[in-house]
Structure 1
Amino acid sequence: MRLAAARAAQMRNQGVSPSDSAADQGNMRPRLLFVMGIMTTFDNRRRRDSIRKTWMPQGERLRMLEKDKGIVTRFVIGRSANPGPDSEVERAMDAEEKEYNDILRLNHVEGQDGLPLKIQMFLSSALSTWDADFYVKVDDDVHVNIGITRSILARHRSKPRVYIGCMKSGPVIANNESKYYEPDHWKFGTAGNNYFRHATRQLYAITRDLATYISANKHILHKYTNEDVSFGSWLIGLDVEHVDERSLCCGIPPDCEWKAQAGNPCGASFDWNCSGVCNPAERMEEVHRRCWEHREAALPQAQES
């Protein structure tokens, strides 16, 4: 589907006529810089709480972040397989959402059909709720400096089709006993070949045009075993600028501290060995204390620990 048609379909889903002027559309919803979806699961309440205590503003500060800086951050989670009124899981999530007002619920069974579909559902839901220049995916075991991330994305705001993250190209695993086994390995040619270049899964961002394309075509976009490979594959045949932004994949302390001292503060930090902060519920506060951007970003922040 062409991008113009995708935009029109998205606008119709939002109740907007494609013939409406840009000014009229702008009057309906404020244009934001980015919407950040933090992928989480029912079992990860402690991870969510560790983020709330550190890098994600709460309460009035969360509203200020949206109003004053054009930044929306939400935990993203689907529904349980049995979402009736007697579901303890659903009651717990409803109570958590009522308390914090920072959760985006998807019309999607959590854990079903894998993370690639969940990310597609997130993009569709985010597009229908917020009008932003960028849509960002992050895992719930990653430390994020929102102000640094904001500065990185703002540099590319005038570009229509940009894919930003830490680009990599790992080996395609044909061994079916491996954790990273790729059933479609034969599509990548001779044994030992690498995947195409794509962003690591911990944090990446795309512009609105690309999010609209993925949302409109989600039913025909192929899903590989690995989420980050799937996402990269959806963009590989498009006229897209890939931005390899290494400040979005810093290591935990002391790596992030050294880089900040050298004048290169980090947008995101995690343990490579764990593909996120190891034991994030216990360690996020320490990582935040040592990696946080502090007041330099002029953003409303959670209380400093």
Structure 2
Amino acid sequence: MPLHHPKHRHHHDEDVLPYHRSDDEAKPRRPYVPSSFPSSPASAAPPHRFLLLFAVVCLLLAVASLSFAVSVSRRPVPLQSPPDSVAFRCGRAEDSLRSFLASSGNYSAGDREKVLAVVGVHTELGSAARRAALRATWFPPNPEGVVSLEHGFGLSFRFVIRRTKDKEKMADLQKEVDMYHDFLFIDADEGTKPPEKMLAYFKAAYDMFHAEFYVKADDTIYLRPDRLAALLAKDRLHHRTYIGCMKKGPVVSDPNMKWYESSYGLLGNEYFMHASGSLYALSSEVVGAIATTNNDSLRMFDYEDVTIGSWMLAMNVNHEDNRAMCDSTCTPSSIAVWDSKTCSGSCNPIEKIRELHNTTLCSKSPTLPPEVEEEE
């Protein structure tokens, strides 16, 4: 509400309002006239004439002001154009979709948007063909589709990407951003290591969204958003939850072999249980703890999935193993399909994802299997 302040009197008010003065000062005084000449009534105007003149001047000013106000009100008022640039940022991180919607004047939201889950599909600058395959299949194809999926299932999808100092690459990416507006830029450069990139993603997503879960997905998987939403919406006893396809495996200590781990001395011969990196979800309380922790306080291993798994051990979370998140072929209950044994995702993701989408069992089967629907 506007605050009302007491009006202050100015010095010139005393000249206009003579009765504000003391009685002696308020009395009208005649000009000095030599005694040999009698005063004439016309030599000094009576006080009431000055007041009358002042009232007439005020009336004329009021009429002029009213006429001006009426003339202005009849003029067409130009519509206010939306601001040229409205950015939803957290440091160097930016949500391109909300920036676009706000700039178009069709969006209004608080600092943190409430959703069931943020699904960050991690991608790279040179993976435009993969993103095109996803938009042609299970990923929303345009801003309207992203908003519709958010309203329908509570899932807010974004392609998570890092910036680069290469002007040509950034120019190509900006064209894609301007066309689809479905990117979440994180506070990380192109050379940032995967574990550090993941930390930047969780920090940015937590600051921009008030979600029950924060999901990490690769751009090499086939996903059923409706089934993912059904999984995340279930009631759980544990507030700190880590959902994914849990696995263990040998720690590679030979630098000449694939999956070499430079910190093998801290791990022993076998990795602790952790979720496969292609798809997993962390509950809000878990991500909140990560987002508010100093970066230097978190140990970074060579691989993202191992690094996240080590943080989960330290935070005493509930590990929820769900094999439907890593099916190798489509089933009536599969949430995600990808080759977890020979590839990190699909070996030929562009062709494989389109092929899966053209299969009825993959893209057109009901959200829940018939037997589950009957039980409910």
Shorter-chain TM band: 0.7 to 0.9
- Alpha-carbon distance between aligned partners in 2 of 1:283 and 1:204, rounded to the nearest angstrom: 21
For 1:110 and 1:203, how far apart are their aligned partners in 2? 22
Letter in 1 for 2:199: Q
Distance 2:181 2:128 in 1: 14
Query: What SS does structure 2 have at the residue aligned with 1:234?
Result: helix
The reply on whether 1:205 has 2:281 as its aligned counterpart is yes
Q: Which whole-Å deviations, capped at 9, do the CAs of 1:52-100 have from their partners, x for residues lacking one?
A: 0001122222111112321101101011034xxxx11111111111101
SS in structure 2 opposite 1:274?
coil
Shift of residue 238, structure 1, vs aligned partner: 1.6
The CA deviation at 1:199 is 0.1
Match of 1:66 among 141, 150, 153: 150
Aligned to 2:306: 229
Partner of residue 90, structure 1: 170
Distance 2:215 2:235 in 1: 14
2 CA distance for matches of 1:157 and 1:95? 42
Does the CA contact (< 8 Å) of 2:224 and 2:335 recur in 1?
yes
1:164 aligned partner, one-letter code: I
Q: How far apart are the structure 2 equivalents of 1:156 and 1:207?
A: 12
- Measured in 1, the distance between the counterparts of 2:274 and 2:233 equals 21
Equivalent residue, structure 2, for 1:166: 245
Q: Secondary structure at the match of 2:296?
A: coil
Spell out, residue by residue over 1:157-180, the C-alpha distance to the aligned partner (whole angstroms, 9 max, x if none). 664200000000110111111121
Q: Secondary structure at the match of 2:358?
A: helix
State the 4+ residue runs in structure 1 displaced beyond 6 angstroms. none
User: Which structure is higher in RCO with an 8 Å CA cutoff and minimum separation 6?
Assistant: 1
Q: Which residue of 2 is the match for residue 216 of structure 1? A: 292
Gaps of 5+ in 2: 1-89, 92-108, 369-376
2:204 corresponds to: 125
Which runs of 5 or more structure 1 residues have no equivalent in the other structure? 1-12, 15-25, 299-305
Q: SS at 1:273's partner residue?
A: coil
Instruction: For residue 212 of structure 1, report the CA deviation from its aligned partner.
Output: 1.3
Structure 2 counterpart of 1:34, one-letter code:
A
Distance 1:177 1:57, change over 3 A: same
Equivalent-residue separation in structure 2 for 1:34 and 1:70 (angstroms): 6
Match status 1:268 vs 2:327: no
Identity between Structure 1 and Structure 2 (%): 34
* Residues 122, 145 of structure 1: alpha-carbon distance in 2 compared, 3 angstrom cutoff: same
Name the CA shift for 1:28/1:182 in 2 (closer, same or farther; >3 Å): closer
Q: Deviations over 1:203-243 (max 9, x none)?
A: 00000111111122233211111110001001102221000
Query: Could you tell me the TM-score, scaled by structure 2's length?
Result: 0.65
Q: CA RMSD in A?
A: 2.1
Alignment match, 1:144: 223
The structure-2 alpha-carbon separation of the partners of 1:196 and 1:28, relative to structure 1 and needing over 3 Å to count, comes to same
State how far apart, in whole Å, the 2-side matches of 1:239 and 1:145 are.
Answer: 29
CA distance in 1, matches of 2:251, 2:304: 14
What is the SS of the residue equivalent to 2:172? helix
State the partner residue of 1:247.
324
Q: Given the two structures, how large is their TM-score scaled by the length of structure 1?
A: 0.79
Count of aligned positions = 258
What per-residue deviation string (whole Å, max 9, x for no partner) do you get for residues 219-273 of structure 1? 321111111000100110222100000000100xxx32xx32xxxx111111231
CA distance in 2, matches of 1:131, 1:93: 28
DSSP-derived class of the 1:194 partner = coil
* Counterparts in 2 of 1:122 and 1:27: CA distance versus 1, 3 Å: closer
| 1:77 equivalent in alignment to 2:156 | no
**AA matched with 1:278:** C
Q: Return the alpha-carbon distance in structure 2 between the equivalents of residues 27 and 95 of structure 1.
A: 28
- Distance in structure 2 (CA, Å) of the matches to 1:49 and 1:81: 24
**If you compute each CA radius of gyration, which structure gives the higher value, 1 or 2?**
2
**SS of residue in 2 equivalent to 1:36:** strand
1:17 alignment counterpart: none
| Secondary structure at 1:292 match in 2 | helix
Letter in 2 for 1:230: T
Distance 1:173 1:30 in 2: 42
Question: Take 1:270 and 1:295, find their aligned partners in 2: how far apart are those partners?
Answer: 18
Instruction: Return the alpha-carbon distance in structure 1 between the equivalents of residues 200 and 270 of structure 2.
Output: 28
